[in-house]
Amino acid sequence: MKYMIFTTKHHDGFAMYDTKQSDFNIASGPFANNPKADVAKYVFDAFRKEGFMIGAYFSKPDWHSQYFWWSKYATPDRNTNYDIRKHPWRWNQFKQYSYNQLSELMTNYGAIDILWLDGGWVRPLETVNEEVRSWGAAIPAWSQEIDMPKIAGMARKAQPGLLMVDRTVHGPYENYQTPEQKIPEKQLNHPWESCLTLGNAWGFVANDQYKKPAEVISAMAEVVAKGGSLLLGIGPRPDGTFPAVAVSRLEEIGKWMKNNGKAIYNTRITADYHNGNTWFTQSKDQQVKNAIYCFKDNEIPATIEWQGNLPKKGSKMILLNTNQTVKWKSDGTTTKVQLPKSIKNNHEVYGALALTYTSK
């Protein structure tokens, strides 16, 4: 992995950092007496030390704030439950509260590469479209505008080069889009990442069912071939550690990436990006093609084939999983590759074989 997004505050309003705007945070409560009570700082520091890009997730709605959800008008859901037009002071207090919390994140926690704002239903009324209405959430008759120009100006000044995600509010504050629990049907002509979970939930759930490495690797091959990035969500247990099965899955995916990263990292899309079970990427100079063949079971075939993305005549084809040269032939339309018998006994294939070759 090359970057991480840490949930600094979700919709419930509980901050995982030492905010001075509210005592509803981990540093004032459960972790108050711990020398590392400001958890976000130490998480960011640890990942930064390993060379990761650092992202801060922050939810715009805040179910705990009386400025957002007013108990005087208690409602079953936690959408804004008072008419902002009739109580402008209260909403302005929420806007300032949000600005102050984000300012803390942007100025007190070192270099931040991505500000990932969730809760797209908190937005100017004029930007509400059918996509938003399809979520099924109640959309109030007033604008839930929180002054994104002011927030963005502050954030980008504090963190030059910052990528911002004002999620689903398409425009100048959504530098890339974030389809959730799905992969777009086709290549998109703008930056994006698919947000998928390793288990079935974003947070920790006891006895959750975790995706097998082959499923994640296959999804990653599809995402990258379509021009996106993969954000893989993992919910830590109450003590902050990952479940053993999640660690095992990540280690297995990591083994595959160590051998096959050339087909994923620093690649570019190619117009003919998919054929059957095979996904294609290419080098920046378009001279080298990568073919990632995915399969669902453990039965590795003796040969694989694809149409399009033909190798250059006489070019060498390398099986990245084992760094072996393999035999291939082409009839001008279809490329057929003969796999070495030894690959059948390789336990680190994990449902995908990557090949690299010089293309026509």
Question: Tens digit of pLDDT for each residue in 120-166?
Answer: 999 999 999 888 888 877 788 999 999 999 999 999 999 999 999 99
* Mean pLDDT estimate for the chain: 95
Whether 16 and 119 share a structural domain: yes
Whether 7 and 111 share a structural domain: yes
Return the amino acid letter for 99. Y
Helix (H, G, I), strand (E, B) or coil at 57: strand
**CATH number of 32's domain:** 3.20.20.80
Of 12-16, 179-183, 237-241, the poorest mean pLDDT is in: 237-241
Is the confidence at residue 24, as pLDDT, over 80? yes
Percent of the chain with pLDDT over 70: 100
Phi, then psi, of 304 in degrees rounded to 5: -130, 155
Mean pLDDT over residues 193-204, rounded? 96
Within a domain: residue 98?
A: yes
Within a domain: residue 269?
A: no
Is the confidence at residue 95, as pLDDT, over 90? yes
Return the amino acid letter for 130. E
- Total structural domains within the chain: 2
Whether 121 and 175 share a structural domain: yes
The residue behind tokens 């001008």 is 332
Token pair, residue 32, equals 């108050």
Whether 308 and 259 share a structural domain: no
Of 161-165, 251-255, 297-301, the poorest mean pLDDT is in: 297-301
Structure confidence at residue 130 (pLDDT): 86
Q: Which residues contact 231 (CB under 8 A, 6 or more apart)?
A: 5, 178, 193, 194, 195, 196
CA 82 vs CA 68, 70, 94, 223: distances in Å: 8, 7, 13, 41
Structure confidence at residue 207 (pLDDT): 93
Whether 250 and 289 share a structural domain: no
Mean pLDDT over residues 293-305, rounded? 88
Within a domain: residue 268?
A: no
Question: Tens digit of pLDDT for each residue in 304-313?
Answer: 999 999 999 9
Whether 280 and 220 share a structural domain: no
Write down which residue in 234, 263, 292 finishes a domain.
263
Structure confidence at residue 19 (pLDDT): 98
Question: Tens digit of pLDDT for each residue in 306-355?
Answer: 999 999 999 999 999 999 999 999 999 999 999 999 898 888 899 999 99
Whether 168 and 317 share a structural domain: no
Whether 162 and 307 share a structural domain: no
CA distance 209 to 263: 28
Whether 303 and 259 share a structural domain: no
CA-angle at 328, arms to 318 and 187, nearest 5°: 70
Percent of the chain with pLDDT over 90: 89
Token pair, residue 179, equals 């389809």
Structure confidence at residue 10 (pLDDT): 97
Structure confidence at residue 345 (pLDDT): 83
Is the confidence at residue 298, as pLDDT, over 80? no
Whether 321 and 193 share a structural domain: no
* Residue ranges making up the domain that contains 298: 274-358
Mean pLDDT over residues 212-227, rounded? 97
